[in-house]
Amino acid sequence: MIRVYILAFLALWSCNAAVQKDLPMIEEKEVASLDSAVHYLNLVDQSILSPKGYTRAAMHFVAQDSLIKTKAEYLMKAGLTCMNQEGEYRLYGVNYLILLSNKFPQDEYAPQALLQLALFFDNVLGDSERATEFLRALIQRYPESVLREDAEGLLNLISVSETGEIEQVRQWLKTK
């Protein structure tokens, strides 16, 4: 009879220990899912994501939007990641970079965000008018930025392409 009680006690004790060992693992999985945006931000830093990985990262950034909007660095990484996706996440990236330039205007990422927006609007969306607005904003807001010279150069290129002179140069190069 004592053996039965001891066996029952040992069985209950071992089951209880097994349940307690499993609980932290479940909690870790829950934490990992909650922190997936942070996980992908780290992977973006390491530049080890595949194209599908960047799409998954963009999905997690959008899903955890409130976290992304807390820091300029997060907005920059998430914005560039989302903008480089085909499809539904591109506009989130644009919004993240616009938010960065407005919410964190003194941050080091703000001029970069404006330059990236200009490049995106000009090269991807073909909207040189909007690209020009971002470049002018960069030049006006950040006259001491190292990106000012790049912005001025891009602004000149956009104005040249709008007047058709760049097409004349292309035609000239083809004939040579």
In a domain, 159, yes or no: yes
pLDDT of residue 174: 66
Q: In the prediction, which pLDDT does 173 show?
A: 64
Domain span holding position 27: 1-34
pLDDT at 71 over 50: yes
In a domain, 73, yes or no: no
**Which residue did the predictor score with more confidence, 156 or 4?**
156
Does the global pTM surpass 0.75?
Answer: no
Indicate whether 99 belongs to any domain: no
Q: Is the pLDDT of residue 78 over 90?
A: yes
Calculate the alpha carbon distances from 88 to 48, 68, 113, 143 in Å.
22, 17, 20, 34
Mean pLDDT lowest among 53-57, 66-70, 102-106: 53-57
Count of domains observed in the chain: 2
From 77, 72, 133, select the one nearest 105 (Cα to Cα). 72
Within a domain: residue 78?
no
% of the chain at pLDDT higher than 90: 50
Taking each helix axis from N to C end, the angle separating 72-83 and 36-46, rounded to the nearest 10 degrees, works out to 70
Residue 169 lies in a domain: yes
The answer to whether residue 120 scores a pLDDT higher than 90 is yes
- Per-residue model confidence (pLDDT) at position 24: 40
* pLDDT at residue 36, as a whole number: 86
The backbone region for 142, taken as left when phi is positive above 0, alpha when psi lies in -120 to 50, beta otherwise, is: beta
3-state secondary structure of 121: helix
If you average pLDDT over every residue of the chain, what do you get? 80
